[in-house]
Structure 1
Amino acid sequence: MKTYQGVVVMDAPRNVVWDFVQDPDAIGRCMPDVIEYEVLDERHLHAKVRVGVGPIRAVFDMNAKIELLPEPYKACLDAQGGGMGSGFHLLSTMHIAQEQDHVSLNWVAEVSVSGPLATLGGRLLDNQVKKITEQVFENIRQGIAAQLAE
């Protein structure tokens, strides 16, 4: 299991960011390489995502759950899926903090990969997983910016 973390700074009200990260439809739109997704209820979604690392390419079925944590403006995204004998599990905690002149989305993600994708190992897999994880949170920033521009 690898841990990644980051901060996304946004020029948006905290309640707008909070509403966005707890909306499975919004999160579905933010997943990189999504072929299709379906919101199952107010906290769950199912998606098909295209995954590729080195020579291995696959379409994964993914289920994700958004859980609101007791601490204010804190949520957890739990996504897992697999395909072609490989699997992944992403568990990410997000905390939205109001700074003096902006809002920051602080995130920590623990990601594990199994099967043929995991056997690639090393830097290739780590770099790709890191890139995909960071892209989710950058897509959230862009999605919120686009929503505010409407």
Structure 2
Amino acid sequence: MNVAGVKEFDAPRAVVWGVIDDPAQMAGLMPGVEGFEIKDDRHWQAKVKVPLGLGGLKMTIDFEKLEERPLEYASMSAKGKGVGAMMNMTTSFTLSGEGDHTSMAWTAEVRIAGPVGSMGQRVLQPIINQQVGNVLTALEVKVAEAKARAEATS
């Protein structure tokens, strides 16, 4: 499944970049995070309970930064394993804009294998869309908080 979109922020690129480039802040955006460990500046791991309808799917997800051009572009991969599912995701973000406005074009390719993956795109697409919406809403809040902190110290 491929999902993509554009998110607008009322914050400078450096502020938005500061949030999306920080694994600890990004972990805080993901729904269902139960634990998080930074291994090094390119690798981290999260223990997550992915909400799926009536229950949740516990997964361990390994993240790796693939490429980054500060204030402009970043891509990463995520590989998750849980009982009944394996997930592979590649995502990227491209930032543009000037002054206090930043536009973030994003894309993600998500593959889910195993019994959960066999539910099919018709069932999984709305769940993925909801989770993406939750992450983007949380990202908007984190960026606003980071902008307020930056303005308070300047």
List aligned pairs for 1:34-49, cutoff 5 A: 34-49=33-48
1:125 aligned residue:
124
C-alpha deviation, 1:145, in angstroms: 1.0
Q: What SS class does the counterpart of residue 15 from structure 2 fall into? A: helix
Contact 2:45 2:60 in 1 (8 A): yes
Contact 1:8 1:138 in 2 (8 A): no
Task: Report the identity percentage.
Answer: 30
Q: What TM-score comes out, normalization by structure 1 length?
A: 0.88
User: Is the 8 Å Cα contact of residues 54 and 124 (structure 1) preserved in structure 2?
Assistant: no
> Could you give the per-residue CA deviations for residues 33-54 of structure 1, whole angstroms, max 9, x where no partner exists?
1111111112221111112323
Q: 1:52 to 1:29 in 2, by over 3 A?
A: closer
Greater Cα offset, 63-72 or 20-29:
63-72
Q: Residue 103 of structure 1: CA displacement? A: 0.6
**Partner-residue secondary structure (3-state), 1:16:** helix
Q: Does residue 140 in structure 1 map to residue 139 in structure 2?
A: yes
| Cα distance in 2 for residues equivalent to 1:13 and 1:26 | 17
In structure 1, the residue matched to 2:15 is 16
**Structure 2 unmatched ranges of 5 or more:** 150-154
The number of aligned residues is 149
Deviation at 1:68, TM superposition (A): 3.1
Q: Distance in 2 between matches of 1:4 and 1:111?
A: 8
Q: Which amino acid aligns with 1:27?
A: M
Partner in structure 2 of residue 30 of structure 1: 29
Unaligned runs of 5+ in 1: none
The equivalent of 2:152 in structure 1 is none
Q: SS of 2:133's equivalent?
A: helix
- Cα distance in 2 between the residues matched to 1:13 and 1:38: 28
- Amino acid of the structure 2 residue aligned with 1:37: F
Residue 60 of structure 2: aligned partner:
61
- What is the distance in 2 between the residues matched to 1:5 and 1:75? 15
Q: Following TM superposition, by how much is the alpha carbon of 1:99 offset from its aligned partner in structure 2, in angstroms?
A: 5.0
Aligned to 1:98: 97
Pairwise CA RMSD of aligned residues? Answer: 2.0
